[in-house]
A and B are shown apart, each in its own frame.
Chain A
Amino acid sequence: MSGAQISSGPAGSSKSLKYIIGIAVFALFLAAPLLITSEYILHILIMTVYFAYLAVSWNIICGYVGQLSLGHSIFSGIAGYVSVLLFIDTGLSPWIGMFIGGLFAMMVGVAIGYPCFRLRGPYFTLTTIAFAELVRIWLENTDEFLGVQLKGAMGLLVPLRGDAPALFQFTGKEPYYYTILAMLLIAMAITFWVERSRLGYYLKAIKGDQDGAEAIGVNSTKYMLTAMAISSFLTGLGGCYYAQLFRYINPERNMGIDISIETALMAIVGGQGTIIGPVLGAFLLTPTGELARSFFGGALPGLHLVIYGLVLVLVVIFLPKGLISPLRYLIRKGVDRK
């Protein structure tokens, strides 16, 4: 606050404070498996990072443009099935199958986006749900398609190969943790790059006023489809990871509407249209959900959904911009104290 602060003023010191916090948090995450002794807690951590990854991917199209897609699990589901089927039928390593699955998901994303982006608000959301449910129900009722065994509602087991890193299978949990952590960091880096680029500015402009944006050169359909392609590809990669983590995939778990809603909730609660927001949301809601399931799951199944609903209501009332607003406030206070 004094004159001497001017050169490294509030903006400068808040940046260095953010760097310090960021590095400390990153180091903590790297060391986590060494500090955690319980397998169960490591599993919760892996699931949390996984949902953070899904939320960050969802945010790239929905958070910035402000449309609510509740059918995103269609991408993780389709990509997961593609990579698992490629592995079962041709032995192709899921590391490569992942990218093929992601490409499939991207094509589906663009194909769905094209009609959906003509719709606004609730109509857009309902249509995304419709597409996702359509594919899920079809899969659930289809045992075989064009000679490929889909096994319908029974799902597919990924053949066990034991300790086979080249085939995306590990015996311990730690490699899975580091894989999803790396994926999360890459997704956040992509979000950062999009935010600063013309695409990011155009997406925010479309959210602000679509007609105004179009009048100054923004082809809204083209840019929304671009963001959708990135988001659906990344979400697809996540679905393939999930299939490898559990070595099992079925329509209800991987393409269900629950995952879509939870992903969207985490991004919204944490702070849409920001890089860290969706991560914060995932870190609040995933452990809460897991703990609710383990303590009350027997007596009160579905309680975790009730809790999610309550959290959403509270956040919308008290922190409409998401968890990220008190975080920013705290950082600014920390800077002012110096």
Chain B
Amino acid sequence: MAFFEIKGISKSFGGLKAVDNLSFHIEKGEILGLIGPNGAGKTTAFNMIAGYFPPDKGEILFKGENITGQRPWTVCEKGIARTFQLSKPFGEMTVIDNIMVGAFARSRRREQVYRKAEEILELTGMTPLRDVEAHNLTATDRKKLELGRALATDPELLLMDEVVAGATPQEADAMMKLIRRIRDNNVTILIVEHVMKVIMGLSDRVVVLNYGKKLVDCPPGEAACNVEVLKAYLGERYVNPSDS
């Protein structure tokens, strides 16, 4: 029984097939990278896993249980948390209150929830921003808040959607360190990312999507040399099979 598995999921929006018969699995404790050109279907796949909308076909299995089509709060309660590509802070609440909302998923007691939120602030380096109202945060800090909130729900599987977008190289390095720390805390990670350094550096394996279909599923090094992957990213004209 795989820790997490999707089997043949598909999703169409009108005439557009965003995800086409996608299957892959995730091992407990690994970091799986999900990459592909823009429009490949990565966020749509995330949305289906997190329960934002159900797939037209196929199954999603978490720890052996079928969670296909379950609502986002149920999926969260079962142990899967996600961040959004366009972060969704609770604007008028302070940073610590935002994180407390996440922590309330596991406990009703305010003192316990407060302490958990403080731990998360410490882990993500946001302690100085504790009482800042979320709508006053910079874009990068909003992404950190998004991550902190998801972590507060004590997930076993964390879906991260482009957390490094728009970050400076130093910020990206700090984020990579943080992600590794999160993995060391027993959290399995599925990460979507465009910044190659980050995703190739972090992932144990990558799944490459193009036009909603899976191209390859292998360690990052192999994917970078794969002809089909190169064609998807660079276009047919720039890839000459005899050169690889």
A residues touching B (Cβ–Cβ < 8 Å)? 196-198, 201-202, 204-205, 207-209, 211-220
Contact = CB atoms under 8 A, between A and B. Distances in A.
9 contacts: A201-B101, A201-B104, A204-B97, A205-B93, A208-B92, A215-B76, A215-B150, A216-B76, A220-B73
Interface stretch (B13-21, B31-39, B77-85, B173-181): B77-85
Given A209-B90, A215-B50, A201 B84 contact: no
B29 to A, nearest CB: 23
Given A205-B98, A211-B84, A215-B72, 18 more contacts: A197-B110, A198-B108, A198-B113, A204-B90, A205-B101, A208-B88, A208-B89, A209-B89, A212-B88, A213-B101, A215-B50, A215-B52, A215-B88, A216-B102, A216-B149, A217-B105, A218-B101, A220-B73
Contacts of A216: 76, 81, 101-102, 105, 149-150, 152-153
Nearest to B105: A217
A212 B84 CA distance: 8
Which secondary structure dominates chain A's binding surface? helix
A209 B101 CA distance: 12
A217 B84 contact: no
Contact of B153 (A205, A208, A209, A217): A217
In the A-B complex, list the 10 residue pairs whose CB atoms are closest, starting with the nearest: A208-B90, A212-B88, A217-B105, A209-B88, A217-B76, A214-B72, A216-B102, A205-B101, A219-B73, A198-B104
Contact of B91 (A196, A198, A208, A217): A208
- Central interface residue in A207, A208, A218, by most chain B CB within 10 Å: A208
Interface residues of B, number: 32
B81 to A, nearest CB: 7
A197 B108 CA distance: 8
Interface string B147-186: 0011011000000000000000000000000000000000
A113 B91 CA distance: 25
A183 B105 CA distance: 33
B134 A208 contact: yes
B206 interface: no
B71 interface: yes
A61 B167 CA distance: 39
A214 B92 CA distance: 17
B88 to A, nearest CB: 3
B189 interface: no
Nearest to A213: B101
Contacts of A201: 97, 100-101, 104
Contacts of B77: 217
Nearest to B88: A212
Contacts of B81: 215-216
A118 B104 CA distance: 24
B234 to A, nearest CB: 34
- Central interface residue in A208, A215, A216, A217, by most chain B CB within 10 Å: A216
- Central interface residue in B92, B101, B113, by most chain A CB within 10 Å: B101
B90 to A, nearest CB: 3
B73 A214 contact: yes
- Central interface residue in A197, A213, A217, A219, by most chain B CB within 10 Å: A217
A194 B128 CA distance: 28
Given A196-B110, A202-B101, A219-B73, A208 B84 contact: no
Nearest to A217: B105
Contacts of B152: 216
A215 B50 CA distance: 7
Interface in B97-134: 97-98, 100-102, 104-105, 108, 110, 113, 134
